[in-house]
Amino acid sequence: MESSAKIGMRITELRKAKKLSQYKFAIVSNVERTFLTHIEKGRKNISVETLTRILSGLEISFKEFFDSDLFSQIKDRTMIGRKVDIKTFGVSRKKPDSYSKEETLLSHYESLSNDSRKIAKEFFKNNYREKNGFQELTLNEALEQFLFEMKANVPFRGPEKGTEKFTFIDLFAGIGGFRIALQNLGGRCVFSSEYDKFAQKTYRANFGEIPFGDITKQETKSYIPKKFDLLCGGFPCQPFSIAGVTKKNALGRKHGFEDEKQGNLFFHIAEIIEKHRPKVFFLENVKNLVSHDKGNTFKTIRETLQDLGYSFHTKVLDGQNFVPQHRQRTFMVGFDTRIYNYTEEFEFPTMPEKRIYELKDIIEDKVDKKYTLTDHLWTYLFEYAAKHREKGNGFGYGLFDKNNDKVTRTISARYYKDGAEVLIKQRNKVPRRLTPRECARLQGYPEQFLIPVSDTAAYKQFGNSVVVPLIQSIGSNIIDAL
């Protein structure tokens, strides 16, 4: 059997083991569906770059992929485009492939200006038309079919253009928690921005859209449509969070607005609000934002937005009213006073008496043994907690029994390190971490949400995300007031 055929058979075997259709797997691995079909049938040689994307989608390394009887006689791996030393190439790449500006524009095609559409259309013509078998169609017909197929099989398409109740832009989008909530309310996203490449990958897999990158760059801002109804975003919270401030103080680093990398990102939001004047903004940050720098940080934010001519509603709400996780966050909502003149009928929602589900509902009985802590790590966490208890500090792990405990601690972006915030008891074993899927549930993400990245990246992404049903509850009251 030729090596390209063996590669194809192995990919098909592993894809089916994960119960992924070719459509979904093409999206997850960032490989065109038609090309993936040819690869699986052994009709195409595969480059190192493409195989890297596929293995990332399968969440396995090169070594694991080639550890099969199919490849027992293959010495040099020349079938993957060029000779590769498996030992040195080794595991999946540390960084996912960066998306080009043209690819990003193409995924935003419906919301682009005419000039940007010309760039996206030319890129499609030169890179995708022939690959997807659209030669017999006109360029416009081929592009329309391509865009339809690109989003046809993602879990969260949102309303079609012209059928939406409102439009919004998704800043500091992360993996799309705000977007799911607002799409559920009838909103159509017309622009998204997210700097992290791994988060972009997850966003693309679930929405069929590649977020634009660095929002501090004027070029990125130039792609924002002139008009939209709502601006939403959970701007980076590390400069203001209790944990972030404590860490930065210990390292002698600046925090809050003095953090040059992250602390001043709020002012880019203000700039966009001033230029585009959406009817309403909807922002989220950590609870500590209110008290940071003796209240001066929050005062600056409030006054900046009010000076732009917006009302300012704020409240600290806890996600545990919807999901079994104690997660307090500061929410800020403001309406354009030129339109509403402070007469909008908006109030933050009353919290429900019963959660959507309990801890016992989201914890799986059987998980891979890799999520169980090592004896060494468990001993370290146990002794670390005991040492701080003696000093009267609250530092330490959080250990939970799914049948007896109701609410966990807050998961954060550092969860991948040791899982200390939320550990799950196991009978006759040391505790285990949550799985990425359990983290998704703890944040209220639907079961069909795709997780196309490694566990490490997934933990960071869900730790940085929002409680989706809480966002939707607030969003519902906002839309009623529009």
pLDDT in tens, 385-416: 888 777 766 667 999 999 999 999 999 999 99
The pLDDT of residue 178 is above 60 = yes
Q: Which helix (H) or strand (E) holds 458?
A: helix 455-463
For 12-52, write each residue's pLDDT tens digit.
Answer: 989 998 888 887 888 777 777 888 888 888 877 776 667 77
Q: pLDDT tier at 56 (50, 70, 90 boundaries)?
A: confident
* pLDDT for 452: 94
* pLDDT for 50: 77
Please enumerate in sequence order all residues whose Cβ is within 8 A of that of 208, keeping only pairs 6 or more positions apart, or say none. Answer: 27, 107, 150, 151, 154, 157
User: How many domains does the chain contain in total?
Assistant: 3
Query: Would you call 237 a catalytic residue per the annotation?
Result: yes
- The mean of the pLDDT values for the chain is 85
* pLDDT for 47: 67
Same domain, 296 and 384: no
Q: How far apart are CA 18 and CA 178, in angstroms?
A: 28
Q: Which of 189, 232, 237, 439 is catalytic?
A: 237
* pLDDT for 3: 67
Same domain, 71 and 208: no
Same domain, 306 and 431: no
The pLDDT of residue 370 is above 60 = yes
* pLDDT for 420: 92
Q: pLDDT tier at 251 (50, 70, 90 boundaries)?
A: very low
Single pTM value for the model? 0.76
* Domain of 32, in residue numbers: 3-89
Q: Which residue has the higher pLDDT, 325 or 72?
A: 325
- CATH number of the domain bearing residue 172: 3.40.50.150
The domain boundary residue, chosen from 55, 89, 123:
89
Same domain, 329 and 393: no
Same domain, 421 and 321: no
Edge-to-edge strands, sheet with 423-426: 399-400, 423-426, 429-432
How many other CB atoms are found less than 10 A from the CB of residue 255? Answer: 21
- CATH number of the domain bearing residue 434: 3.90.120.30
Same domain, 284 and 336: yes
The pLDDT of residue 78 is above 80 = no
Q: How far apart are CA 399 and CA 109, in angstroms?
A: 47
Same domain, 170 and 301: yes
- Is residue 115 assigned to a domain? no
For 203-222, write each residue's pLDDT tens digit.
Answer: 999 999 999 999 999 999 99
- Is residue 119 assigned to a domain? no
- Please name the amino acid found at residue 263: G
Query: How distant is the alpha carbon of residue 235 from its chain centre?
Result: 13
Task: Note the maximum CA span of the chain.
Answer: 76
- Is residue 452 assigned to a domain? no
- CATH number of the domain bearing residue 83: 1.10.260.40
How many other CB atoms are found less than 10 A from the CB of residue 38? Answer: 16
